[in-house]
Amino acid sequence: MVEKIDYIEFPSSDRAATSAFFSAAFGWGQLSYGPDYDAIDGAGIDGGVDQAEGRVASTMAIVRTDDLDDAERRVLAAGAVITRAQFDFPGGRRFHFREPGGNELAVWISRD
């Protein structure tokens, strides 16, 4: 399985660090549209990383995986901080993390 999100625009205090994090952790590419915005490529949805003044407040995206432990190892290796350890919820299991630019996300796996 390739980890993908459904839709997101990430505000970031450090656009380059955020884009580099996504590349290292999930293999997503980016296309720069100037010093304040990178488009996300390969995440399965249109979206971007926004560093511009007046950007929107933080948004949490949820990434689906087929190997939660491996995903957690990769996000840690790419520079993330776990903000909520793995836990069960009605649809499966997930953890939350904060990437180097300050966005909080979650990765989950289905019970199926």
Number of domains in the chain: 1
Is 39 within a domain?
yes
Residue written as token pair 């995206």: 61
Is 76 within a domain?
yes
Is 59 within a domain?
yes
* Cα(7)–Cα(35) distance, integer angstroms: 22
20-66 confidence digits (pLDDT tens): 999 999 999 999 988 999 999 998 886 789 998 877 667 778 899 99
* Cα(10)–Cα(58) distance, integer angstroms: 7
**pTM of the model as a whole:** 0.72
To the nearest 10°, report the CA torsion of 69, 9, 41, 87. 10
Is 29 within a domain?
yes
CATH number reported for the structural domain that contains residue 38 in this entry: 3.10.180.10
**Cβ neighbours of residue 69 closer than 8 Å, sequence gap 6 or more:** none
Domain containing residue 71: 8-110
* Cα(71)–Cα(14) distance, integer angstroms: 23
Is 3 within a domain?
no
Q: How many CB atoms lie within 10 A of CB 97?
A: 22
pLDDT at 53: 86
